[in-house]
Amino acid sequence: MRSLNRSGFLFSVTAFFLLPLLLTNCTPKNKKIEESSTGKPSIEINGISVHTMKGNIYTTAHKTDLKLTKTGTVSFGDTEQPLETEIDIYVNPNKQFQSLVGIGAALTDAAAETFYKLSKDNQEKFLEAYFDKDKGIGYSLGRTIIHSCDFSSGSYTYVDEGDAELKTFNIAHDRKYRLPFTKKAIAATGGKLTMYASPWSPPAFMKTNNNMLQGGKLKPEFYQSWANYYVKFIEAYEAEGIPIWGLTIQNEPMAVQRWESCIYTAEEERDFLKNHLGPTLEKAGMSNKNVIVWDHNRDLLFQRASIILDDPDAAKYVWGTGFHWYEDWKDGIPMFDHVQRVHEAYPDKNLIFTEGCNEGYDIDQIDEPRLAERYGRSMINDFNNGTVAWTDWNILLDETGGPNHVGNLCFAPVHGNTKTGELMFTNSYYYIGHFSKFIRPGAKRISSVSSSNSLLSTAFINEDGSIAIITMNQSDKTLQYSITIAENKADIDLPAHGIQTILLSE
């Protein structure tokens, strides 16, 4: 088996950890447009003119040593009307949209098992790299699994087979790896990790195929028992000191998989929610738990949301709709517009990206730009279309792309070599970090529009008043572009296949 300690693949995060982050104490209120000394418009944020704001530029680029590296500073001067031959990102902080809940990843069995095979020093490095907002990339969101999924070493449940009354319910299995791993992650954030949970399948005896794998459906006679199972899980995890903020009803409810899976039509998921799960959570005093429907790909996102959210008896229990990115298996084209359509139709409900990873693990492909750019492209488009939270899949996997009990091996942003104890930080880790480190929970998205298809962008204003503008260069050449805010202009270069965060403050 190949070692992961390879030139170009093992990136030291030491220099990155020492980067200064210059933030201000101003607040994002009292924004207005006034004139600069030249008579041109200049947006003010709490009395500070954008014309006088300064910014740091952080860059990651393929085939370079730039990994969330501070590559310069930026300041604004006056500008004229941008030309069609120029690339311009126009940002309007006065146009504000959804608030960010968080950015993070799934803390699976596979991640937890791999974590405990690392050296103690690398365990600490891993926790700091992901969860420390100053020295790392500041994850604030976590997804956990309700008993097993494919990224477990085997199938298991929390009850004995046939126990519909759940008298044997016990999470003892999770105490070996996943519970202590999750507690360490929460501690690394200072106790501020928003956690939600997802099931992949009910126990076999509750299903039409009598198997946790290969699809099947939940038998109607076990609807209430399965609803009670969620409550038992939440109670058990919270007794362990792990608050559960929310839950999805079913991971990928339209996919018959060779691993844990269960099928619900839109009508079946709607009726299970409104007749069983919703009332059961309410009766248990858990009406504050945020219920997420769908939890599958963008292609059927609108259909599923419509069926459930058009029913007021079901919709009253729904916090939002979750989605994945795997619909591009059809033609290689992500259906970002479906996210926008749901946001337009149901603006009072939230959208959350619940899972995405690069499939088909192959160490020889680890530095391919397409892997990291898939993250950047998705995050920019999903946020621009109204998404309030974004969750990567496995936060950590081993040197094989597992463990996975059915051989469904995948990439993760960080891989741990369980033979050497070493960590490999891939470009995907740094790409995600351009968002999670600089866009903090509570930030509001602001208008950001690019004049070129080669350069994608999104922008947020944080609660402390700092503005984070993320740009991604999808082309094979360095791009010269400008950022314009109310006719105040800054000129910047972005290397080929690179991503930048421009953090503006007083």
Q: DSSP secondary structure string, 470-500? A: EEEE-SSS-EEEEEEETTEEEEEEE-TTEEE
Q: DSSP secondary structure string, 317-384? A: TEEEEEEESGGGGTTS---HHHHHHHHHH-TTSEEEEEE---BS--GGGTT-HHHHHHHHHHHHHHHH
What pLDDT does residue 214 have? Answer: 98
Q: How many residues does the chain have?
A: 506
**Residue 351 near residue 338 (C-beta atoms within 8 A):** no
| Burial tier of 38 (Cβ tally within 10 Å: 0-12, 13-18, 19+) | exposed
**Residue 94 near residue 453 (C-beta atoms within 8 A):** no
What pLDDT does residue 463 have? Answer: 95
Taken in order 155, 156, 161, 163, the sign of the CA dihedral is: negative
Q: Tokens at residue 318, please?
A: 């729904």
> What stretch of H or E contains 400?
none
**Residue pLDDT tens, the chain, 506 long:** 333 343 333 334 433 333 333 333 333 333 443 444 444 455 665 555 666 678 999 999 999 999 999 999 998 888 778 889 999 999 999 999 999 999 999 999 999 999 999 999 999 999 999 999 999 999 999 999 999 999 999 999 999 999 999 999 999 999 999 999 999 999 999 999 999 999 999 999 999 999 999 999 999 999 999 999 999 999 999 999 999 999 999 999 999 999 999 999 999 999 999 999 999 999 999 999 999 999 999 999 999 999 999 999 999 999 999 999 999 998 999 999 999 999 999 999 999 999 999 999 999 999 999 999 999 999 999 999 999 999 999 999 999 999 999 999 999 999 999 999 899 999 999 999 999 999 999 999 999 999 999 999 999 999 999 999 999 999 999 999 999 998 789 999 999 999 999 999 87
Where do the structural domains in the chain lie, given as residue ranges? 102-441
Q: What does CATH list as the number for 102-441?
A: 3.20.20.80
Q: Tokens at residue 172, please?
A: 């003892």
Rounded-to-integer distance, Cα 104 and Cα 141, Å: 4
Q: What is the pTM of this model?
A: 0.91
Q: Please list the active-site residues.
A: 252, 355
Task: Give the neighbor-by-neighbor strand order of the sheet with 69-75.
Answer: 69-75, 54-61, 498-505, 467-473, 455-461, 444-450, 88-99, 479-485, 488-494, 77-78
Rounded-to-integer distance, Cα 305 and Cα 292, Å: 10
| Burial tier of 339 (Cβ tally within 10 Å: 0-12, 13-18, 19+) | buried
What pLDDT does residue 83 have? Answer: 86
Q: Tokens at residue 482, please?
A: 């400008």
> What stretch of H or E contains 415?
strand 414-416
Rounded-to-integer distance, Cα 261 and Cα 202, Å: 8
Residues of 48-87 as b/e, b for ≥16 C-beta within 10 angstroms?
bbbbebebbbbbbbbeeebbbbbbeebebeebeebeeeeb
Rounded-to-integer distance, Cα 233 and Cα 241, Å: 13
What pLDDT does residue 3 have? Answer: 37
Phi, psi of 454 (to 5 degrees): -75, -20
With tokens 């084209």, the residue in question is 333
Residues of 227-249 as b/e, b for ≥16 C-beta within 10 angstroms?
bbbbbbbbebbeeeebebbbbbb
* Three-state secondary structure call for residue 291: strand
Sequence-distant (≥ 6) Cβ neighbours of residue 123 within 8 angstroms: 115, 116, 184
